[in-house]
């Protein structure tokens, strides 16, 4: 099933953790609708701008998968079909370029530079109200700490 011109549902629900643990990772109708909005507002504009495949390292997570994902928050937007993590390592496009494009050109709820651009987390709230929150994730004393992006 296509979520947008260049994004298939299979790309957003793919999870090695789910496969390994035998967890079903299928979105509900509400989550599927959220994923379509996320694809339209976030994924497709990135894909169209760069003109190259965009790699999602983490997309939709069912409640069971989210619980099994180390470090995942119980309020994760991934579990509502509102967030994707993008990782362009090994391609001509850097994660920083993706981050900067989103920050400068798109409406979003949350944008996170994860661990010095190891990947980019971006969300779009289905409520329609976007916080435009930009954060940096780093490790401090072995714990993940989020601070405002400067």
Q: What is each CA distance from 130 to 59, 69, 108, 112, 123, in whole angstroms?
A: 19, 26, 6, 14, 9
Residue found by looking up tokens 């991934």 in the block: 78
What is the assigned CATH class of domain 2-148?
alpha beta
Q: What is the pLDDT of residue 73?
A: 82
C-alpha closest to that of 109 among 81, 91, 129: 129
Residues 5-52: pLDDT tens digits? 999 999 999 999 999 999 999 999 999 999 999 999 999 999 999 999
Q: What is the chain's alpha carbon radius of gyration, rounded to the nearest angstrom?
A: 15
Judged against a pLDDT cut of 80, whether residue 71 lies above it is answered with no
C-alpha 140, offset from chain centre: 23
CB contact at 8 A, 59 and 78: yes
Q: What is the pLDDT of residue 92?
A: 97
């Amino acid at each position: 099933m296509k979520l947008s011109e260049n994004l298939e549902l299979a790309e957003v629900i793919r999870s090695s953790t789910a496969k390994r643990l035998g967890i079903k990772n299928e979105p509900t109708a509400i989550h599927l609708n959220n994923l379509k909005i996320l694809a339209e507002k976030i994924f497709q504009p990135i894909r169209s701008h760069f003109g190259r495949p965009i790699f999602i390292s983490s997309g939709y997570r069912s409640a069971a998968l989210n619980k099994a994902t180390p470090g995942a928050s119980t309020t994760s937007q991934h579990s509502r079909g509102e967030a994707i993590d993008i990782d362009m390592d090994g391609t001509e496009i850097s994660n920083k370029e993706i981050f900067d494009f989103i920050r400068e050109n798109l409406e979003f709820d949350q944008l996170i530079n994860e661990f010095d651009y190891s990947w980019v987390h971006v969300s779009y709230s289905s409520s329609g109200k976007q916080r435009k929150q930009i954060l940096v994730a780093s490790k401090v004393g072995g714990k993940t700490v989020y601070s405002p992006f400067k």
